[in-house]
């Protein structure tokens, strides 16, 4: 059912805000789960390897289930699936208050991951169907910014643990997801049901269905793009601090500041990228240009040809260049998506992030064990360049009607 008549700007503000905060909550629960593991690690008899394995289980289950969540979104609607995911992710964190062994935490990681898997297919189905197309780029930028802020909010679990203990921290930490689930359910009249496009899609001769939808070249390239992006993003997030400490001889605190600057630059880039995405037709040129700029700015880091003082502004610029590509990247995926298939396609494509999240940290960690920290950033340069070429290829592989819509 479509949303009832609501002022377009009011609807866009409500939808973008709710979906952006929901995306932030999903990232918050991803990191909050690992934070709780670190808090209880010694008491529960977990090693750091165990913590890493539990995180891997989380991402693996989320990645496997994300495509299925996309089918559920297209079958039952994005709004109830999003609300259910928010509630389930919150319950997963609350259950950590009761766990005391690897097996119980593993079971909880599955619960949290099943909640986490719905966000990308549900979020983008709601944004694509409910937000005015002239504001979609900015909607995507707010969506990406929400995720970054969610990661930044997760360390509050440490402070809650100090104030009210482990059980209190887990239960209080679960509250935002439950409140937001209720808000999503309560804002029915603001959301347009994307499934209305299914009938139009079914009438198109030769429309792809089932497995054939995912075998389209453009969709497979989008999946590969997201997997490679995640190798960079998650790998650098986890290993950049020890890498810069070894490469440049800086303190761990200064290296952590460098990582914060990089992430803040990325968040600023996402906001700017939203305006680019709303005002250009060639989203592939914006995305490829930003990725090549990020690659060029990473080369001085890989070659150690920059001083520790100049590392900060260089990372801010590199983060900005990479972040600015995100809204245009999402527009590219949208233009490659057949009508009525937002849930399936975004679920499948974004499961590439989980694949990359599984590959990046072990690979970069292995390079750190070999005392080859610069290799991390040479890999980053290569992946930036590969992805720049990939987005240009995606446009060429996208159906002519979708390319014309750009």
pLDDT in tens, 128-160: 888 888 888 888 888 888 888 887 788 788 889
Model pLDDT for residues 161-186, shown as the tens digit of each residue: 889 999 999 999 999 999 999 999 98
- 205, pLDDT greater than 50: no
Q: Give the position of tokens 């260089």.
A: 314
- Pick the closest to residue 202 from 188, 214, 213, 186 (CA basis): 213
Which of the four pLDDT bands, split at 50, 70 and 90, describes residue 198? low
* Identical topology for domains 8-194 and 211-405: yes
Nearest Cα to Cα of residue 229 among 375, 56, 351: 351
Give SS3 for 62.
helix
Q: Please, are residues 323 and 144 in contact by the beta-carbon 8 Å criterion?
A: yes
Beta carbons of 73 and 125 less than 8 angstroms apart: yes
pLDDT of 237 strictly over 90? no
Q: Which residue is it, tokens 């992030």?
A: 353
Parse the chain into domains and list their residue ranges: 8-194, 211-405
Could you tell me the CATH superfamily of domain 8-194?
MFS general substrate transporter like domains (1.20.1250.20)
Report DSSP letters for 211-275, one per residue.
Answer: HHHHTSHHHHHHHHHHHHHHHHHHHHHHHHHHHHHHHH---HHHHHHHHHHHHHHHHHHHHHHHH
End-to-end CA distance of the chain: 27
Asked if residue 28 lies in contact with residue 150, where contact means CB atoms within 8 angstroms, the answer is yes
Mean pLDDT confidence for 300-314: 94
pLDDT tens readout for residues 344-397: 777 788 888 888 877 887 788 788 888 899 999 999 999 999 999 988 888 776
**pLDDT tens digits, residue range 14-56?**
999 999 999 999 989 988 898 888 888 888 888 877 887 888 8
pTM for this model (two decimals): 0.75
The confidence score (pLDDT) of residue 157 equals 87
Average of pLDDT values for 306-326? 93
Residues 268-281 have a mean pLDDT of 83
The dotted CATH code for 211-405 is 1.20.1250.20
SS3 label, residue 126: helix
Is the pLDDT at 110 greater than 70? The verdict is yes
Q: Please report the pLDDT score of residue 385 as a whole number.
A: 95
Mean per-residue pLDDT over the chain, rounded: 84
Kindly state the percentage of the chain with pLDDT values over 70: 89
């Amino acid at each position: 059912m479509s949303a009832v008549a609501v002022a377009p700007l009011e609807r866009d503000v409500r939808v973008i805000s709710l979906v952006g905060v929901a995306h932030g909550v999903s990232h918050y629960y991803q990191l909050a789960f690992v934070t709780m593991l670190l808090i209880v690690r010694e008491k529960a008899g977990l090693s750091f390897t165990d913590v890493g394995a539990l995180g891997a289980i989380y991402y693996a289950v989320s990645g496997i289930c994300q495509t299925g969540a996309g089918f559920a979104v297209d079958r039952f609607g994005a709004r109830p699936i999003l609300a259910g995911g928010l509630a389930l992710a919150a319950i997963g964190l609350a259950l950590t208050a009761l766990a005391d062994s690897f097996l119980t935490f593993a079971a909880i990681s599955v619960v949290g991951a099943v909640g986490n898997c719905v966000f990308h297919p549900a979020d983008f189905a709601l944004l694509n169907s409910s937000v005015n197309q002239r504001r979609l780029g900015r909607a995507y930028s707010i969506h990406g910014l929400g995720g970054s802020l969610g990661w930044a909010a997760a360390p509050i679990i440490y402070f809650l643990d100090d104030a009210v203990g482990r059980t209190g921290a887990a239960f209080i930490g679960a509250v935002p997801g439950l409140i937001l689930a209720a808000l999503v359910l309560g804002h029915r009249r603001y959301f347009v049901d994307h499934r209305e496009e299914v009938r139009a899609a079914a009438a198109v001769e030769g429309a792809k269905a089932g497995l054939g939808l995912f075998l389209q070249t453009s969709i497979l390239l989008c999946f590969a793009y997201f997997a490679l992006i995640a190798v960079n993003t998650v790998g650098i997030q986890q290993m950049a601090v020890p890498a810069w400490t070894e490469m440049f001889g800086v303190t761990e605190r200064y290296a952590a500041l460098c990582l914060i600057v990089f992430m803040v630059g990325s968040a600023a880039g996402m906001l700017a990228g939203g305006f680019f995405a709303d005002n250009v037709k060639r989203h592939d040129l914006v995305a490829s240009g930003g990725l090549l700029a990020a690659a060029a700015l990473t080369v001085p880091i890989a070659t150690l040809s920059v001083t520790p003082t100049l590392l900060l502004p260089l990372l801010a610029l590199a983060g900005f260049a990479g972040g600015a590509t995100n809204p245009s990247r999402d527009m590219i995926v949208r233009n490659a998506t057949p009508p009525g298939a937002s849930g399936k396609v975004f679920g499948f494509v974004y499961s590439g992030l989980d694949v990359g999240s599984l590959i990046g940290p072990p690979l970069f960690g292995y390079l750190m064990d070999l005392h080859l920290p610069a290799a991390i950033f040479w890999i980053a340069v290569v992946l930036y360049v590969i992805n720049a070429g990939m987005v240009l290829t995606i446009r060429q592989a996208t159906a002519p009607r979708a390319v014309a819509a750009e």
